[in-house]
Amino acid sequence: MEDARVDNAIAWAEHHLGSTAYATRCLAFAEDAYERANHLELFGGDTAHESATAYEAATRDGVPPRGAFVFFDSVGELFGSRRNWGHVGIALGEGRIIHAWDRVRVDTAAAIEALTPPPGWDRPRAAGWAPVERVLRGSRPRRWDTGTTAADAARHDQTTRFGGGGAVPGEA
């Protein structure tokens, strides 16, 4: 069952390659890949850093298996607060990670650590990974509203949780 969920999530994520709709909404992108493609709801943190902590990602290093959430520390100011917001992507295998930065893209962990951050942000640093079974633990079935795009829903959730009108670094 998990293999099918991984395949579905990766296919959903790859369908969004090049999209800017998830810029700076990496956690929403990674969660939506599993949630929307598999009709379920995940329960991690409100930020990638909180999810990394909840999933005990720091206890795992090395090359993550396909489908794992791969976490990075990413410190900067967002919505008037400077802190470690984190960054996350999904392991594709062979060291490749699909993630939302300025756009949905595929990079290696080393390439993610070398990305130019927005002004006022530090470069991302590897922080571990969480296996699929840990990410899916506690998930529940859910039918998602098909009248709203996943990216629009993510933008709404971000504004609801953190305020700021949805403005994010690097966006006009």
**Full-model pTM:** 0.86
What is the distance between the alpha carbons of residues 92 and 3, in angstroms, rounded to a whole number?
12
- Contacts of residue 21, defined as CB under 8 A and 6 or more positions apart, other chains included, come to 149, 151
Residue 143 has a pLDDT of: 83
Which residue ranges form the domains of the chain, and what is each CATH number?
Answer: 2-166 (3.90.1720)
Q: What number of CA atoms fall less than 13 Å from residue 24's CA on the CB side? A: 19
Q: Is the pLDDT confidence value at 159 over 80?
A: no
Q: Is the pLDDT confidence value at 169 over 60?
A: no
pLDDT digits (tens, 9 = 90+) for 28-63: 999 999 999 999 999 999 999 999 999 999 999 899
What is the distance between the alpha carbons of residues 44 and 110, in angstroms, rounded to a whole number?
25
What average pLDDT does the structure give for the chain?
89
Q: What number of CA atoms fall less than 13 Å from residue 99's CA on the CB side? A: 28
Q: Is the pLDDT confidence value at 67 over 90?
A: yes
User: Sign of torsion, CA 142 97 28 43?
Assistant: positive
Residue 171 has a pLDDT of: 33
What percent of the chain has pLDDT above 90? 77
Confidence band, pLDDT 50/70/90 cuts, at residue 162: low
Of 152 and 52, the one with more pLDDT? 52
Confidence band, pLDDT 50/70/90 cuts, at residue 158: low
Nearest CA among 40, 20, 18 for reference residue 31 = 40
